[in-house]
Amino acid sequence: MSILAYDLGASSGRVLLGRLTDSRIEVEEIHRFSNDPVKVGERLHWDILRLYHEVQQGLLKAKHLGVNPSSLGIDSWAVDFGLIGKAGELLGNPYHYRDWHTHGVMEEIQERLGKEYIFQRTGIQFLTFNTIYQLAAMRNKRSPLLEQAAHFLMIPDLLRYFLTGEMYHEISNATSTQLYHPLQQDWDDELLSGIGIPRSWFGKVLEPGSVAGTIRSSVMTDLGIGAIPVIAVAEHDTGSAVAAVPALERSFAYLSCGTWSLMGTETAQPVINADTLRFNFTNEGGVARTYRLLKNIMGLWILQEARREWEREGTSYSFPELVHIAEQAPAFISWIDPDDELFLHAGDMKTRIRQYCRNTGQPLPETPGQITRCILESLALKYRYVLELTEHVSVHRFNGLHMVGGGIQNRLLCQWTANSIQKPVWAGPAEASAIGNLAVQWMARGKFADIWEARRIIADSIAVEVYEPAESEAWEDAYGRFQRVAGLFVH
């Protein structure tokens, strides 16, 4: 049985062909494409029609390989959305979550509705680009799109709609909006009313593994393909990545590492209390009615932006080259808090890193090696801090950390993470979101009994590299200094 997983990240997308042979998963990447945001005037958008074109190219490439997929599923980043008008057409390109249009809106909504009130109703961490604040920003600016809109669809929902003509939401992405009440298991009428958005835009929310339609006849005709069921997988890519964590123990900690780093654990119920509010944790829906109790960490975005700036200046570095020169740079000289607002938006990261170091009385990193080392050490140290917070709010101690996602190809970061947390790191799979996407489709088709059988087969099929902690004394000393620099104190 062959199936397709579309995994759309913030910088690129990929299509994986998955086969299940003798209880082992085989995957083949058949299409990869860039995902480039487009700035028009002062606004930053996703090029959603280009992404839909690439979705179709994936179907054509499967066809050219002689494959008739039994199903397909799409996962992507969260929070962003498109609005559909009364005639069923998309109203404008979706905003990119790094656009400035939400500046100051989160604080305004918190003041008006109450921070604790919002958290008690959603269990979602406060991030300036959450969907609730994007919609509120559009309302504040009297966007004409709001007057024309009839439906709200997040990015995977929107691409599914283009393919099938059916409009559904999915729980892992719906919960990320900060507009969904996990205890009532429905969209939150009071929060929607509080930001002046009609409840009628928001429809049925599906669990991962639900059939969400079949490719429409016009698409079949255009591409020369047959009918293919479309499965609502865990459509937030982190939800799919967590589904693919090859954990055999029921209590485990994970780090989905890429443009963003997302660290947490899996729980049976949302954990909504004073501590999760205080430490700004989130509770997002997962596979098999679980919840992802986690925190967002800025991740490798900072290094990606610094690399882009060096390229604009005329010097191109591959990521392996940056890792090599970082390893040669002096250790533990200066750090940043990756989650400082300085690093959220696109721009000259190396200048912002120096600004942060200047503001905190540290030596200024100058060379690409020093800057890269500063970023990677800071990430590894922040991972320890968030892992300790995760243990605190979940009331569990973890024996190690499962790292998944494209960031694990940075072996230095994996090793430094093990050194920082002083526990083993189990790294793999790199294509976790796509593999979790495939796993949910196979669960939907009865090939796996449950998520734990899926994880066992993933563990048997995918190589996992183990990183043992080292240099404990030096990293322990660095962690204390990092906490003081970043102002991160006791839990």
Catalytic residue among 237, 337, 339, 340: 237
DSSP three-state, residue 36: coil
CB atoms within 10 A of CB 260: 20
Angle at 47 between CA 46 and CA 52, to 5 degrees: 120
- The torsion angle over the Cα atoms of residues 299, 300, 303 and 308, rounded to 10 degrees, is -120
180 forms bridges with which residues in the sheet?
187
CB count, 10 Å around CB of 203?
Answer: 15
Spell out a b/e string for 398-427, using b for 16 or more CB atoms within 10 Å of the CB, else e: bebbbbbbbbbebebbbbbbbbbbebebbb
> Is 237 one of the catalytic residues?
yes
* CA distance linking residue 443 with residue 451, whole number of Å: 8
Going from the C-alpha of 212 to that of each of 51, 76, 150, 208, 262, the distances in angstroms are: 19, 16, 20, 10, 27
What are the structure tokens assigned to 178, written together? 């900060």
Nearest to 159 by CA among 258, 221, 232, 63: 232
Distance CA 461, CA 22 (A): 11
- Express the helix, strand and coil content of the chain in percent, nearest 5 each: 45, 20, 35
Kindly list the catalytic residues. 237
